[in-house]
Amino acid sequence: MSQGNLLLSSVPLQRGKACLSCRRRKTKCDSTRPICGPCSRNPNFADDCEYDDEGPADSQILEEQIRILQQRINELQNPAGRRSGHGSRPNQLSSQNQMPLGPLLSYFHSQQTAGANLDAFSAMAAELPPIVLQALAHNFLHNASSFGFFLNAQAFHDAIQHPVPQSPGSLPVVLLNVMHLWGIHLSTDARLARYEPALLAHSLNSTASSLTSTHPRTLLHGAQAEVLLATYFFRNGRIVEGRYHISAAIGIVLSGRWNMIRPGAAGSAEELRAVKEQIAAFWGVLTLDSIWAGVHDWAPNVIPGVPGGLDVETPWPAENLQQSGTLARFLAGLPDHPDSLQALQAKAGVLLASAATAEHRAAPDIVLDRRISTFTAALPPIQSKPVLVVHLLARVAIIRLHAGYGSSESRGKMLNAARDVLRLLTNPAVAEEVKGGVIDPIIAPILTRTCNVLISELAAANSAGTPAQPLSDSLKFLVHVMQVMAPQFKLMATNLAAVRELCNAARIILA
């Protein structure tokens, strides 16, 4: 069952009366203003309670901006004029359709802070002393690998510790602002929490002003800032804003044609470093797009390696690029050697996106099923949280590939994948390796997808009057894991609430 169907109601809703949040969740809305009853009873949904009867809501404006960015992305990946079906219907922002990408993104970003008192926010951000900002940046960098940071974290640590103003290696303001935002977001110091809205507005404003330049490193820093903002919004349960910033990041890397990098062209050590950064940026952005689309029910901005999709010649991220494999070899099942963490993340993302887009075929793609199984079997032991996430994504790829097929074989494969997730999470050695700290917010929809499988099987067993205590115990364990993580980030709390609602609808008792 898709995440869009987590909350069901048998009562039809009159279009235009219900709030957008209740419409998305397909639940009954009482239309109370400013926050309706269902949203007010669950604080995880209150921030998303919007109405569109007096003009487009903020989320609808963002969705329209996403559509325009996807249209621009389609033009970038298909310069000869091929269309991938995003459509070209008239829209309220059509006057911006022909703007160059940099000014277009700058315009859209500035709309996110429209109405905000930027001078007041800037003054508030300036209240934080340099030593606090330095600590915030270090706090983020210690956890950067969980949030899509594809640049050299140690180099940033060193540059923050020993800054050299106006030097070629000085840190870009746009990234410093986003790192400070993340540092406050991850901080447990309640005194700093009040600065988070100011730093968010400050980050969006600086990102907007940084995107009009065409300098190669500006593109690199812009792509990294977009990835960090996307992950920030996802972690906070602000899905539409997260999708917008993923689309912006995809547009940036494609405008640099970083999908067509040939490492042999690099000459000096400095050129090789720049090429490695661009490769890391391309795959980092594509991975983020693939995994978040793959665990949800929206189409990725680009689908690489398929007819009519994105052409990719860029090798996988690796220390030695001459020995790195390519997407074409991987998809063809040929020997493919690089096993860097970022390469594994990228491959998991490609497989998950492929599985999600193959979900509506007449029958499961057996070749893709075999490829996912081969990839999963070759994964390294889990010694860090990012590697655990790769293992979990591979299992969700199987779940997505077989979702919607009612055959006993597909149901069995989905259930086995769900059991694999349980096995990984209950393994004491894995728990010891990954305990403490923060984890990639993608874990929330991963656990939700897994819960959906168990709920579906439990409902079927209950209908048939078949004992299913092991399934019930597994579901309770996953819900407990989500409960433990829910106080850490809103997305987990929101998904947990959705899982509980689905259990109630299926008359499954979790207590």
Give the total number of structural domains in the chain: 2
Q: Report how many helices (DSSP H) and strands (DSSP E) the chain contains, helices first.
A: 23, 0
- Rounding to the nearest 10 degrees, give the CA dihedral for residues 17, 19, 24, 30: -70
The parts of the chain modelled with pLDDT lower than 50 are 1-13, 82-98
Phi-psi region of 294 (alpha: psi -120 to 50; beta: other; left: phi over 0): alpha
Q: Is residue 135 part of a domain?
A: no
Domain boundary among 38, 55, 72: 55
Q: Is residue 415 part of a domain?
A: yes
Domain boundary among 55, 72, 96: 55
The per-residue pLDDT for range 351-386, each reduced to its tens digit, is: 999 999 876 677 888 999 999 999 999 999 998 889
Dist CA 154 CA 74 (whole Å)? 35
Q: Establish how many alpha carbons lie within 13 A of residue 134's alpha carbon, considering only the half-sphere containing its beta carbon.
A: 10
The per-residue pLDDT for range 444-465, each reduced to its tens digit, is: 999 999 999 999 999 999 888 8
CATH number of the domain that residue 36 is part of: 4.10.240
Residue-by-residue DSSP string for 217-255: HHHHHHHHHHHHHHHHHHHTT-HHHHHHHHHHHHHHHHH
What pLDDT is recorded for position 280? 93
240 CB-near residues (< 8 Å, 6+ apart):
59, 62, 63, 66
What pLDDT is recorded for position 164? 63
What pLDDT is recorded for position 180? 92
Peptide bond into 34 cis (omega under 30): yes
Q: Which domain holds residue 7?
A: 3-55
Q: Is residue 411 part of a domain?
A: yes
Residue-by-residue DSSP string for 373-395: HHHHHTPPP--SHHHHHHHHHHH
Q: Is residue 205 part of a domain?
A: no
Calculate the alpha carbon distances from 477 to 3, 342, 385, 470, 482 in Å: 20, 30, 19, 11, 9
Q: Is residue 219 part of a domain?
A: no
| Tokens coding 54 | 């007096």
Q: Is residue 472 part of a domain?
A: yes
Cα radius of gyration (the chain) = 23
Bridge partners (DSSP) listed for residue 304: 310
What pLDDT is recorded for position 112? 63
Dist CA 233 CA 227 (whole Å)? 10
Say if residues 42 and 497 touch (Cβ distance below 8 Å): yes
Q: Is residue 380 part of a domain?
A: yes
What pLDDT is recorded for position 179? 93
What pLDDT is recorded for position 368? 92
Domain boundary among 55, 77, 97: 55
What pLDDT is recorded for position 102? 65
Dist CA 16 CA 31 (whole Å)? 10
What pLDDT is recorded for position 156? 86
Q: Is residue 12 part of a domain?
A: yes
What pLDDT is recorded for position 94? 43
